[in-house]
Structure 1
Amino acid sequence: MEFEQELEVERAQKGSHEAFIHLTKPLELQMYNIAKAIVRQDEDCADAMQEAILKAYKSIANLRNPSFFKTWLFRILINECNTILRKRSNVVSLFGHEDAQSSTPNTDLNIDLREAVYRLEEVSRTIVILHYFRDLPLRQIAEMLDLNESTVKTRLHRARTTLSQWLANHRERKINV
């Protein structure tokens, strides 16, 4: 299987459109799931996937090790998702503050863990999403993000600590109000 993939990558690097499609088609569902976990909106998932596939197609000749095609493609996808999130965070909602104040007490008590995760810094957020929401092993996440596995473990631990503190502080504020 891996040998076949390497041959397809080499064919794609030589300009075969069919080979590139053959490589990316079976990965579309996994790509969608990763994008959905990161950006959450279907339109953004489609944009991230489209951009990632286009960038991969244009730069496949630069892929040095054909056996890392999947990891390489997912890394491009994660970068595209993070770009979309950065652009989205630059857009200010006119109703942001009113919505927060008009929420029901029940909503306030049930803080969405995903919202807390999205407040994490980019690399930690990506690690948490890939590990807990997509069940990827730390080794694979380290490869995708081009990090040492121990660095991924450390960032995951720090992210869990931060999330725990945020959630504890949120509960304390609601009790004291």
Structure 2
Amino acid sequence: MAQDFYEMYLEEMGQIAPMSAEEEARILEQTAAGEVQARKRLVEGNLQKVLSIAKEYEGSRLPMADIVQEANTALTLAAVEYDGATEWETLLDRRVREAVEEAVREQEAELEVEENMAARVNALQIVSQHLAGELGREATVSELAEKMKMTEEEIRDIMKLALDALTVGGDTAAAGGETE
């Protein structure tokens, strides 16, 4: 789905008239003076530049559509910020890279947390099965906590995550929910 939006975006980009150097100089003066229409044209005229910067981050763990969205938001904010004190190209490049790199870092951190939690759920499942075999019954939360060297609250949190994952995954019958 995100790829479809990205493809549509690329098609629309071809319909936007590029800015000449003369037009950009005039638009930058007007933008620095606070003219809203000039700011809009500045954003529109720089979408191709921003896209080329965004493409440098293709292949990261963040989908390209999200990268472009972050880059375009940074472009808009840079146009609002522009007052003529800093060279436009420098401001634009810095703001776009900062925004995209922050989004990539956040995505990687989120994925790391997800992977860590998945590993904890898997470890709990293995320990639970092992204890059930040893004990001849399901292990209690306190027994699991002792075996895994965790608190009972941590064990409950992991169990809740596992249950939520089953529910989100569509396996509501296994999670105790009703099926349609």
TM over 0.5: no
Higher-Rg structure is 2
Q: Higher helix share goes to which structure? A: 1
Instruction: Tell me which interval the TM-score lies in, with the shorter structure as reference length.
Output: 0.3 to 0.5
Structure 1 length-normalised TM: 0.44
